[in-house]
Structures are given as structure tokens and as C-alpha cells.
Amino acid sequence: MKKNQMGEFARFIEEKGLKSTTQRDEIVNVFFTLKDHVSIEELHHKVQKKNPKIGYTTVYRTLKLLTESGLAHERQFGDGQARYEPVTTEEHHDHLICLRCGTILEFENKKIEKLQEDVAKQHGFEVKNHKLELYGYCKKCRK
């Protein structure tokens, strides 16, 4: 799966007439090993553990490329910074976000997706993507 994603990224770079570089490969590699929803800064930190030479700017630019290529999604939870997640070939998923500890759980629900489509249709809308976030307290934090 990871190889597959690396391959897709390489193809995207190729198609765009861009050049393949060590920095980008390292960043993309680290990104796809993560499960989390990382911010640019967090990813930069993790990447620097492997290669301290890589700068924030390059991480920033590579995340933009990943987003553009459809291999990553940019998300805006309430904390004032963009977070990125790898796009898998699996189903779209939504998020449960704990207001106290910040934990982010993912879920997926076909029935909700279906109802969303219905709503859109009623309004003459063509949905390209959606965002569903439930904010509250997780099992541990609700006490």
C-alpha cells in the first residue's frame, strides 16, 4: 500500500513535469507511515529526525503537492492550523474529535453519506466532497 502510494506520487510528479528529489521522497515516505492527522510543523519535526537538513518550506510545499495530487487531504479542525491526512483507497471517513484531550477518531457511515446525497439533490447541488465532524468528549474524558 505504501509502495503504491509512493508510486502514485512519482507518477504525479512525472506528469506535471516536475523533478524527483530526495527531500520530497523522504517527506512523502514519512507522511505515509503516519496514521495521524499531522500539522505541517509536526510532520516537519518527524522528517527532521531522519534528515535534519530538510526545511519547513519544503515540507509545506510537498504537502501542497500531495494535496493537489489527491493523495492527501487538508483538514481544518478547530485548532487554527491545517492538518493533513493520507488518502487511502478505502472509503471516505469522518471524524470524532475530543474537545478535552484532542484525540481524533475516524468513522464511516454509508447511511449518512446516502442522506447527504439526498439533501444535496433536493437543493440542486452536485457534491464534490464533504466534511463531517462531531465534537465532544471521548470515553476517557467524559468521566
Partner DNA sequence: AGTGAAACTGAAAACTGTTTTCAGGATAGC
Partner DNA sequence: GCTATCCTGAAAACAGTTTTCAGTTTCACT
Least distance between DNA and beta carbon 17 (Å) = 6
- In total, the chain counts a number of residues equal to 143
Least distance between its own copies and beta carbon 63 (Å) = 16
> How many residues of this chain interact with DNA, rule: CB under 7 A?
25
Select the residue interacting with its own copies from 1, 18, 101, 105 (CB under 8 A): 105
77 and 133 Cβ atoms separated by less than 8 Å: yes
How far apart CA 100 and CA 119 sit, in angstroms, is: 32
Q: Per CB under 8 A, does 121 bind its own copies?
A: no
Q: Around 126, how many Cα atoms within 13 Å sit in the side-chain half-sphere?
A: 0
Give the count of beta carbons closer than 10 Å to the beta carbon of residue 47: 24
Select the residue interacting with DNA from 28, 38, 40, 71 (CB under 7 A): 40
Least distance between its own copies and beta carbon 118 (Å) = 8
98 and 141 Cβ atoms separated by less than 8 Å: yes
Burial tier of 62 (Cβ tally within 10 Å: 0-12, 13-18, 19+): buried
Least distance between its own copies and beta carbon 17 (Å) = 26
Q: Per CB under 7 A, does 71 bind DNA?
A: no
Residues that bind its own copies (CB under 8 A): 76, 78, 96, 98-99, 105, 107, 109, 111-112, 115-116, 119-120, 122-139, 142
